Amino acid sequence: QDFDAAEIPKEKFNYQSDVARMRKIVINSLYSHKEIFLRELISNANDAIEKLRLTALIDKTVWDGTDPLNITIKAVKNEDGKGGKLIITDTGIGMGPEELTTNLGTLAKSGTSDFLARAEGAEGAATGNLIGAFGLGFYSSFLVADKVHVASVPAKSEKYPEPVQYVFSSSSEDSSFEIFPDPRGNTLGRGTEITLELKDDSSEYLENQEITALVSKHSSFSTSFPIYLFTQRTDEVPDEDVILEETQSAESVPKPTSDTDDADADDTDEAVIEDVSEEEQTPAPPKMKSITVDEWVRLNGQPPIWTRDPKEVTDEEYTLFYNAFFKDFSPPMTWTHFSGDSGSGVSFKAIVFLPDKIEDSYWQQPLLSQSKDIKLMVKRVFITNDLGEDALPKWASWVKVVVDAEDLPLNVSRETLQSTAFLRQLKSIILKRIIQLFNKMADLETEDSEKFEKFYEIFGGILKLGAVEDQKNREKLAAITRFTTNHRNFTTLDQYLENRKQGQKQIFYLAEMGENPQELAKSVFVEKLHARGYEVLLFTEPLDEIFVQNIRRWKNVPFQDIAKVGLKFGDEDTDEEEEKEQQKEAAQKYKPLMEYLQKQGRGVVRDVVISNRLVTSPVAIVADSFGYTANVQRMMASNPGAGKNPMHDFAMKARVLEINPRSPLIEGLLKKVEALPTEEEGRDVEAEEELEEVASILLDGALIRSGFEVPSTNDFFGRVDRVLRRSLGVSEHAPTDDTVKPAPPVDPELPAFEELYQMPPEDGKAGVYVPPHMQDDLSIEMEEIDEEGNVVAPRDEL
Ligand SMILES: Nc1ncnc2c1ncn2[C@@H]1O[C@H](COP(=O)(O)OP(=O)(O)OP(=O)(O)O)[C@@H](O)[C@H]1O
């Protein structure tokens, strides 16, 4: 019986506008992925049965545990041989008329509009990957069907004591759908039946072979309930009418089903026929006739992948499973499949997958992330993917895991789970496995650097976050973390220590958020270390500084920020006597300059000292151990609350100016300071001002070189201008002619459009507005085309 057969009042509804947009996107942009409709419908069916089973744990009226839970698929070809219907049925929770309306007629998901906007835009092509993840599931039916009917009966419950079968009907063209009681009556008992009236170009989905292939590719791994396909087989059986006559005469009846028994006795069917005919010595073989045998064939008979022997599962199977099960349609980066014992007597099998990307949304708020892809099964039955807030530390919340516990009760709830030792043990087992996978990927560095680099690009930040967040696994995660140095890329902390020079008791690093390592390597702070052959870790990501501040030491060697005081090469004790003497002398020699600069630099630096870290640069500004480096200062600036800390001002100014005694510039400055006439000799105010200006530029330059900002950019350039004038011999005080033409008086009228843009004459012909400033640069050719797209008469109108 047809859905339209009876005269039943049908209620008509308009789709919510987002649904209309969604259907359009699905139909237009996913055409090349149209086979996904089956995966989506099966996945919905599976979810509906799962929901039934979970509800039945609390309320037995919903399902008493006896009637079978399954998904069936049936293709019905039209009698004229053209097109047909595909019917997908489940014995799940079902939907009442209101649910049909809201679930299928509206999109309740948050972020829908965002998604729609993205999908309609340039990224539309990529929607193939988003479709399942976002739950456009049901609408994918319109990829292959002109018309879709969803008949459904909700499970018996308080809300539906006498459930009635209703139908949701919609065609792919309509902006509305209809809801009405099923004219066929209650044919389902419970569950949902989706009838797709296939489009002419989708009739391949009527072929059982095609359906079987699709199910095995996309759905066999992700469904926990049996999927049956309706098949019809033609069998040759003895014609019963003839047999009946023979029985009456010979009293020997070959049973219609005896084929198999006979086949057991011998290997081939042919032999059977011979045997039978010889033994019974009947004058003629029994008359045969063809009959059609209806059969439901199980499509997903394979046991779930995690229960299989890892040696027998191919990489492709793991990938297909991952895609379908976690609705992430890029292949996983790597995985580990293992079985174990939790230690509290729960044995389990699990697969832990590393995805091949971490969503941007994760990095926006990593500390708020919560794992949602640890799917816990008990004896192959899905229990939950919500293991609670602290299921895993935040650094690992992106991981995708399926775990199947043998020895937990089937009706275990999340609450009872929380109090079991199993969950705690599971957590540490998963973390251990993730770290194992990280190590496996990190080992690829030498064999397959491309793979390794991709891994590091995605998980580098995770390793640092983990080392900061997770004290227990800190060491293991920090050991895998890599850094760029002035010597090489991807250095581990252990490798750094191997390259340590004799006496070196610090791990040198320099941090500048957002800089690139090559630039950072040219910093004043690195120059001497580099020139002497020491290795310096170059930190350019915000997490780096937080990372060292948390781990503080590696194998007992402390980290030293080389932009701070306290830098020691470690070989100072072995310096020659002569060198020490030289340093003493330099301190003596530069005393007047240091005193002078100290006076000039008040408010910017706390002290001035002779540097041991500079080679060619004349000066640098170094932070005290408790002061802010330029990097920390910048991080503070982006944190609005930081200025309120009473230590803030103090930490800002806790820095020292270091001068390079071997720089000619510094020597020259010393001479100038020494040459200044004293009070007694009669002060030279002009020379004093000149020198102050130079000192001030030197200080500002030192700030900039060291990554800090100058207190006032305008003042700084005013001074530079004056020094430039002096060096060019131009008068310092000669004013620039600063007269300018004032603007005309206020104009109370708004300009007319025609004044700004020349309008084409209003002669009814097509025209183009070209703004005056573009008229010289633009020429437009127009051609008229006929309906077939052929050019009628080329013209050059403008
Ligand atoms: N076979 C079904 N049985 C019962 N309810 C269903 C069935 N198919 C769909 N639904 C209901 O309709 C809703 C919308 O389905 P749709 O496929 O559009 O998205 P979804 O299933 O929520 O998302 P996703 O496909 O990502 O799981 C479902 O959430 C479910 O409540």
List phi, psi (to 5°) of 443.
Answer: -70, -15
Does the pLDDT at position 295 exceed 70? yes
pLDDT score, position 108: 60
Q: What proportions of the chain, in percent to the nearest 5, are helix, strand and coil? A: 45, 20, 40
Q: What is the pLDDT of residue 592?
A: 94
Q: Residue 54, SS3?
A: helix
Q: How far apart are CA 674 and CA 96, in angstroms?
A: 96
**Position 408 confidence tier, pLDDT thresholds 50, 70, 90:** confident
pLDDT band at 17 (very low <50, low <70, confident <90, very high): confident
Least confidently predicted of 152-156, 211-215, 361-365, 646-650: 646-650
Amino acid type, 466: G
CA 14 to ligand 1 centroid distance, Å: 19
Longest CA–CA separation in the chain, Å = 151
Q: How confident is the model at residue 30 (pLDDT cuts 50, 70, 90)?
A: confident
Tokens coding 384: 């939950």
pLDDT at 115: 67
Atom of ligand 1 nearest to the CA of 139: 18
C-beta of 44 in contact with ligand 1 (< 6 A): yes
Which atom of ligand 1 sits closest to the CA of residue 44?
8
Lowest mean pLDDT among 292-301, 415-424, 522-531: 415-424
Compute, in angstroms, the gap from residue 78 CA to the centroid of ligand 1: 28
Nearest in space to 222 (alpha carbons), one of 331, 332, 320: 320
For ligand 1, atom 27, name the residue with the nearest CA: 135
Q: How far is the CA of 103 from the centre of ligand 1 (A)?
A: 7
Whole-angstrom distance, CA of residue 781 vs CA of residue 798: 7
- Tokens in use for 536? 């310096």
Q: How many residues does the chain have?
A: 798
Cα 388 to Cα 24: distance, rounded to the nearest angstrom? 37
Task: Give residue 756's pLDDT.
Answer: 63
| 244 contact partners, CB below 8 Å, separation of at least 6 | none
- pLDDT at residue 133 above 50? no
**Which range is least confidently modeled, 146-155, 171-180, 463-472, 749-758?**
749-758
Pairing between β-strand 557-561 and β-strand 553-554 as defined by DSSP bridges: antiparallel
pTM score, whole prediction: 0.70
Structure tokens at 470: 């997770």
Which residue out of 53, 55, 73, 103 has the highest number of ligand 1 atoms within 8 Å of its CB and is therefore the one to mutate?
103
Closest ligand 1 atom to residue 138 Cα is 17
Q: What pLDDT, on the 0 to 100 scale, is given for residue 134? A: 54
CA distance 750 to 730: 48
Would you call 548 helix, strand, or coil by DSSP? Answer: helix
Question: How far apart, in Å, are the Cα atoms of 120 and each of 31, 130, 152, 228, 458?
Answer: 14, 13, 32, 37, 28
Question: Which residue's CA is the closest to the ligand 1 atom numbered 22?
Answer: 135
Look up tokens 């309306």; give the residue.
101
Whole-number pLDDT of residue 121: 64
Q: Which long-range contacts (CB under 8 A, 24 or more apart) does 356-362 make?
A: 356/330, 356/331, 356/332, 356/454, 356/458, 357/330, 357/458, 358/398, 358/458, 358/459, 358/461, 358/462, 359/398, 362/397, 362/398
Whole-complex ipTM:
0.97
Mean per-residue pLDDT, 224-241: 87
The CA angle 669-673-679, to the nearest 5 degrees, is: 165
132 C-beta closer than 6 A to ligand 1: yes
Would you state the pLDDT for residue 209?
Answer: 93
pLDDT, average across residues 141-163: 94
The 10s digit of each residue's pLDDT in 716-751 is 898 889 888 988 988 878 888 888 898 988 988 887
Which amino acid residue places its CA nearest to atom 28 of ligand 1?
103
**Cα(163)–Cα(494) distance, integer angstroms:** 68
From 138, 190, 225, the mutation candidate for ligand 1 (largest count of ligand atoms within 8 A of CB) is 138
Q: Whose CA is nearest to atom 10 of ligand 1?
A: 44
Q: Residue 453, annotated ligand binder?
A: no
Phi and psi at residue 744, to the nearest 5°: -60, 170
Residue 318 has pLDDT above 90, yes or no: yes
Band the pLDDT of 112: cuts 50, 70, 90. Answer: low
Measure the CA–CA gap between 133 and 5, rounded to whole angstroms: 38
The ligand 1 atom at the shortest distance from the C-alpha of residue 93 is 4
Whether the CB-CB separation of 332 and 319 falls below 8 Å is answered with yes
* Residues whose CB is less than 8 angstroms from the CB of residue 85 and which lie 6 or more positions away in sequence, other chains included: 75, 76, 78, 195, 196, 197, 198
CA of 70 to the centre of ligand 1 (A): 17
CA 519/CA 513 separation, integer angstroms: 12
Would you say 505 and 570 are in contact if contact means Cβ atoms under 8 Å apart?
yes
Q: Of 229, 67, 221, whose CA–CA distance to 153 is shortest? A: 67
- The answer to whether the beta carbons of residues 532 and 569 sit under 8 Å apart is yes
Q: What is the mean pLDDT of residues 340-360?
A: 90
Band (pLDDT 50/70/90 cuts) for residue 253 is very low
110 is in an annotated binding site: yes
- pLDDT-derived band of residue 496, with 50, 70 and 90 as boundaries? very high
Q: Is 163 in the pocket of ligand 1 (CB under 6 A)?
A: no
Highest-scoring range by mean pLDDT, 100-114, 421-435, 757-771: 421-435
Q: What would the mean pLDDT of 148-158 be, rounded to a whole number? A: 95
Please choose, from the candidates 44, 53, 778, 39, the residue with its C-alpha nearest in 3D space to the C-alpha of residue 410: 53
Place of tokens 């500004």: 621
Which residue shows structure tokens 């390259």? 499
The rounded Å distance from CA 778 to ligand 1 centre is: 54
Most confident of 292-296, 756-760, 771-775: 292-296
The secondary structure element, H or E, covering residue 593 is helix 591-600
Using 50, 70 and 90 to split pLDDT, how confident is the model at 261? very low
Q: What was the pLDDT predicted at 498?
A: 96
CA atoms in the 13 A half-sphere facing the CB of 521: 17
Spell out the alpha helix ranges (H) of 654-794: 664-675, 685-705, 713-728, 753-756
The confidence score (pLDDT) of residue 267 equals 38
Q: In whole angstroms, what separates CA 110 from the centre of its chain? A: 18
User: What pLDDT score does 130 carry?
Assistant: 53
Ligand 1 and 137: CB distance under 6 A: yes
What's the whole-number average pLDDT of the chain? 84
What does DSSP say about strands 227-238 and 288-298: parallel, antiparallel, or unpaired? Answer: antiparallel
534 pLDDT higher than 90? yes
**Averaged over 301-306, what is the pLDDT?**
86
| Interatomic CA distance for residues 149 and 179, integer angstroms | 10
125 CB burial (10 A radius; 0-12, 13-18, 19+): exposed
Q: For residue 631, which of 699, 529, 541, 565 has the smallest C-alpha distance?
A: 541
Residue 603 makes CB contacts below 8 A (sequence gap 6+) with: 653
Sheet with strand 145-153: strands edge to edge: 11-14, 176-181, 166-171, 145-153, 191-198, 84-90, 71-77, 227-238, 288-298
% of the chain with per-residue pLDDT over 90: 45
- DSSP secondary structure letters along 322-390: HHHHHT--SPPSEEEEEEEE-SSS-EEEEEEEE-S---HHHHHSGGG-----EEEEETTEEEES---TT
Q: How far is CA 637 from CA 52, 131, 144, 186, 368, in A?
A: 54, 41, 56, 68, 23
- Give the type of residue at 637: A
- Nearest-angstrom CA–CA distance, 632 and 539: 12
> CA-to-CA distance for 772 and 535, rounded, in angstroms?
61
611-637 pLDDT tens trace? 988 999 999 999 988 888 888 888 777
User: Residue 135 has which token pair?
Assistant: 């739950």
Atom of ligand 1 nearest to the CA of 90: 1
